Amino acid sequence: MSEVRIPVADVKPGTAVRLDAGPGGVCLVRIEDSFYAIGDRCSHANVSLSEGEIDPDDRWIECWKHGSAFSLEDGQPQSLPAIAAVPVYKVALEGDEVVVTY
């Protein structure tokens, strides 16, 4: 397994950032003090999920291209047209860094 690290301060609450890691990149999302990491490529349209809108209450991110939403907790699609899940990666906090294992 591999990992990528990013300073906690580089991910503002309510935002997503794209990390150049794993197959197709990683979408790292921060909701308050919780972090989630999923594959950055929409399983329907192959576009970057880190550019999408985040729903902090339901814990999903929406693909900006066609509106498919993906759970930040398990990668499952929450709406059509996507029907395939995206990968989910382990996230840990170590000091002032977020560590994503992929």
Please write the tens of the pLDDT for every residue from 9-63: 999 999 999 999 988 999 999 999 999 999 999 999 989 999 999 999 999 999 9
Owner of token pair 């066609």: 66
Q: What amino acid is encoded at 19 in this protein?
A: L
Architecture of the 3-101 domain: 3-layer Sandwich (2.102)
Gyration radius from the chain CA atoms = 12
Instruction: Please tell me the pTM assigned to this model.
Output: 0.95
Domain ranges for the chain, please list them: 3-101
> For the chain, how many residues are written?
102
What pLDDT shows up at residue 101? 98
What pLDDT shows up at residue 23? 87
pLDDT digits (tens, 9 = 90+) for 50-102: 999 999 999 999 999 999 999 999 999 999 999 999 999 999 999 999 999 99
> What are residue 99's DSSP bridge partners?
5, 92
Q: Which residues contact 66 (CB under 8 A, 6 or more apart)?
A: 42, 44, 45, 81, 82
